[in-house]
Amino acid sequence: MPKLDFDVITLGHGSGGTLTQQLLDSGVFTVLANPLLDQRHDGAIIPWAGPVAFSTDSYVVSPIFFPGGNIGELAVNGTVNDLAMCGAVPRYLSLSFIIEEGLPMTEFWEIITTIKNACARAGVAVVTGDTKVVERGKGDKIFINTTGIGTLHPKAAIGVENIRPGDVVLLSHAIAAHGMAIMSVRKGLEFESEITSDTRPLNQVIEKLLDAFGTQIHFLRDPTRGGVASVLNEIATDARVGFDIQQRLIPIEESVASACELLGLDPLYVANEGVFIAVVDAAIAHEAVALLRAETASALAVRIGHVTTEHPGQVVLTSAVGGKRVVGRLVGEQLPRIC
Amino acid sequence: MEICGGQTHSLVKNGLLGLLPDKIQMVHGPGCPVCVTPLHLIDKAVYLAEEKKVILCSFGDMIRVPGSSKSLLDAKAAGADVRVLYSPLEALKIAKENPQREVVFFAVGFETTAPANALSVVQAAHEGVLNYSILTSHVLVPPAMEAILNDTNNLVQGFLAAGHVCTIMGMGEYYPLVEKHKVPMVVTGFEPVDLLQGIAMLVKQLEHGECRLENQYTRMVNEQGNPAARETIARVFQTSDREWRGIGTIPNSGYELRNDYAAYDASKKFEVTLAKADENKACMAGEVLRGRKKPHQCSEFGTRCTPANPLGAPMVSSEGACAAYYHYAHTTKKPVTA
């Protein structure tokens, strides 16, 4: 960590004056250096040809450090993954901080170095950004916005209109880890084995999937907030189809399942940060699972169900004991139950 | 009848109702603490949070339940300090951290939550914490079963007793009920296989014309229950008549704080004068809670009454029968019949 004269971020660091310059020079530009950022212009000028995917997201997670990651990593992976779900190869990110006065410099430094590493891992570059500081009490330590652009994969045709009855629903990894990791720190709960967030970039595995199967990948979505259940409901509504899924096929770590049970939460509605759902042509489902399983990011990939013309707009789950139920949309926040 | 709302949810969530033969009809019992908490107590909690500016702590389940004008969630959105906790001991910690503020824990629940709520009071007294109190709405299972069995319209032929309640209280209270009303009971757990086994045990008794108290949930429940928990409850609480939302007052069906702990009783500590509000007349929660009606037999179900805009508590509580039907069985094409 460079010497920055201050132990904490002050209002002065957002004033646009000397302190801002000092923070950006030693705390941001040198860490994230790349030719486009080094232009140090009001914005990045990027030569481009062909279709672009464009996505933005803001990150307000509390606490900002959690088992398995921090807000910086989430901010990079989240936007990278949103671009990947469009069928794009993510290239460039913008990075904006809203920092609450008093954030320890050590924490800012840890976040910025995590961002650097996450960018390297995902193969993207931060090319423009902004830093604002708000008074103590007007924020929650640090908020981050990232916006990203990516090149559309030449073989990609991702869209709800491509979903067909008989298509197979694939899930890339074990669910609910991120939400429960956050929950465990927020509530000060300790479990026998620590639950860590699943935050990870998914763009490389998506690229491989599109390389191999192109237009036979009909739809992609990462079930972040609201979990697998909410995403499947959204797709069912938008595509005017139904989903039949099998509970026993949905992978979940035992510790995560126990934590959900203990807190009275349904893991199908708990957030993920490193999982995606793919709706694919039934003809390639088997091969697609094999391809995904060979990748660490999707090692537990599995087919969890299929698209049906029955019950359009609804997700029907067959429980582990063979009963059926509708998996509805969540109303408000999931709240812990009493007993 | 399965007593506990957790059992109702497991039945519906795992699709068990659709798997049962037509001759077995499950009637959903009153075991949803949130649902039976009287309207005026919710109003009181909202009043304490808004007017008395207390830090109002509650289990998450409770905060969405509508009072006569608003829920605790509405009060929170309007600026009241309402906090969702997992344990009353967390509320006590908040009281210690905020000595200048009054902290009230909304102590709702059956016998299951009573030990922890009692413990928070014992602990507060032991540590001399004076800015902590609890607003109790504790209800008890056996008196409610007695009320159902005494009802001349009762059609329930057998009961799945609530496994978690018996984990605390043991089985002793249920023998007299079985004896007096000649009705079979099986203490049952919450996993799908627990429920199926409990139902099978009950059906066997009925087929053989027997009425005994059996224990399906042997991995958790024994005859005595949890003596330490029972002792803590007895030290802090005494039984009292209690109003059940939608049902009415049932004699000796609740807990109130003993006089020794009156200083920790939010009902006594704070002067609250609120006009007693009327229930929404369109809501038939009482009929549902007494097992006389199924949620989908209500004309408002899924139309004027939804989890986002509930008329009554069973539609919002995670243990509520209406919520269970809405979330897991609400389908426009093939309604799940129960």
pLDDT tens-place string over residues B228-260: 999 999 999 999 999 998 888 999 999 999 999
DSSP A229-241: HHHHHHHHHHHT-
| Residue position matching structure tokens 């603490």 | B33
Give pLDDT, residue A339. 54
From chain B, pick out residues whose CB is under 8 angstroms from the CB of A190: none
Question: What are the beta bridge partners of residue A161?
Answer: none
- Interface residues of A toward B, Cβ cutoff 8 Å, are 187, 189, 263-264, 310-311, 314, 316, 318-328, 331-332, 335-339
From chain B, pick out residues whose CB is under 8 angstroms from the CB of A323: 14-19, 192
Residue of A nearest to B33 (CA): A338
User: pLDDT for B34-54, tens place per residue?
Assistant: 889 999 999 999 999 999 999
pLDDT confidence tier of residue B337, bands split at 50, 70 and 90: very low
B78-92 burial string, b = 16+ CB within 10 Å, else e?
Answer: eebbbbbbbbbbbbb
- d(CA B48, CA B337) in angstroms, rounded, equals 42
User: pLDDT for B116-150, tens place per residue?
Assistant: 999 999 999 999 999 999 999 999 999 999 999 99
Query: Which residues, including other chains, have CB under 8 Å from residue A262's CB and lie 6 or more apart?
Result: none
Interchain contact, B62 vs A338, CB within 8 Å: yes
Interchain contact, A263 vs B16, CB within 8 Å: no
- d(CA A250, CA A267) in angstroms, rounded, equals 10
Give pLDDT, residue B200. 97
Interchain contact, B330 vs A264, CB within 8 Å: no
Residue of A nearest to B192 (CA): A321
**In chain A, count of helices (H) and strands (E)?**
9, 13
Enter the pTM of the model: 0.83
Interchain contact, A326 vs B16, CB within 8 Å: no
Give pLDDT, residue B251. 94
Interchain contact, A338 vs B34, CB within 8 Å: yes
From chain A, pick out residues whose CB is under 8 angstroms from the CB of B198: none
Cα dist from A334 to A275, A330, B63, whole Å: 20, 7, 12
What's B199's DSSP letter?
H
Rounded to a whole number of angstroms, the distance from the CA of A327 to the nearest CA of chain B is 6
Chain A contact present for B106, CB below 8 A: no
- d(CA A301, CA A170) in angstroms, rounded, equals 7
Rounded to a whole number of angstroms, the distance from the CA of B14 to the nearest CA of chain A is 5
Instruction: Give the helix/strand (H/E) hosting A31.
Output: helix A30-32
Percent of chain B with pLDDT over 90: 68
Checking ipTM against 0.90, whether it exceeds it is no
Lowest mean pLDDT, pick from A196-200, B156-160, B193-197, B269-273: B269-273
pLDDT confidence tier of residue B158, bands split at 50, 70 and 90: very high
> Best mutation site among B13, B63, B194, B337 for testing chain A: the one with the most A CBs within 10 Å?
B13
Give pLDDT, residue B333. 35
From chain B, pick out residues whose CB is under 8 angstroms from the CB of A336: 59-61, 84, 86
Q: Kindly state the average pLDDT of the residues B5-24.
A: 91
Closest CA to A89 of A116, A57, A125: A125
Question: CA B187 from chain center: how many Å?
Answer: 17
Rounded to a whole number of angstroms, the distance from the CA of B63 to the nearest CA of chain A is 9
Interchain contact, B329 vs A323, CB within 8 Å: no
Give pLDDT, residue A75. 97
Tens of pLDDT along chain A (339 residues) come to: 766 678 999 998 988 888 888 888 888 888 999 999 988 888 999 989 999 999 999 999 999 999 999 999 999 999 999 999 999 999 999 999 999 999 999 999 999 999 999 999 999 999 999 999 999 999 999 999 999 999 999 999 999 999 999 999 999 999 999 999 998 888 777 777 789 999 999 999 999 999 999 999 999 999 999 999 999 999 999 999 999 999 999 999 999 999 998 888 899 999 999 999 999 999 999 999 999 999 999 999 999 999 999 999 999 999 988 999 999 888 777 766 655
**In chain B, count of helices (H) and strands (E)?**
15, 11
Lowest mean pLDDT, pick from A61-70, A209-218, B13-22, B271-280: B271-280
Question: In this structure, what token pair is assigned to residue B282?
Answer: 């369109």
Closest in B15, B61, B112 to A336, CB measured: B61
Give pLDDT, residue B330. 54
Query: Which residues, including other chains, have CB under 8 Å from residue B77's CB and lie 6 or more apart?
Result: none
Give pLDDT, residue B334. 39
B208: how many CB neighbours lie within 10 A of its CB?
10
Q: Are A228 and A268 in contact (CB under 8 A)?
A: yes
Interchain contact, B14 vs A323, CB within 8 Å: yes
Q: Which amino acid, one-letter code, is at A168?
A: V
Interchain contact, B15 vs A310, CB within 8 Å: no
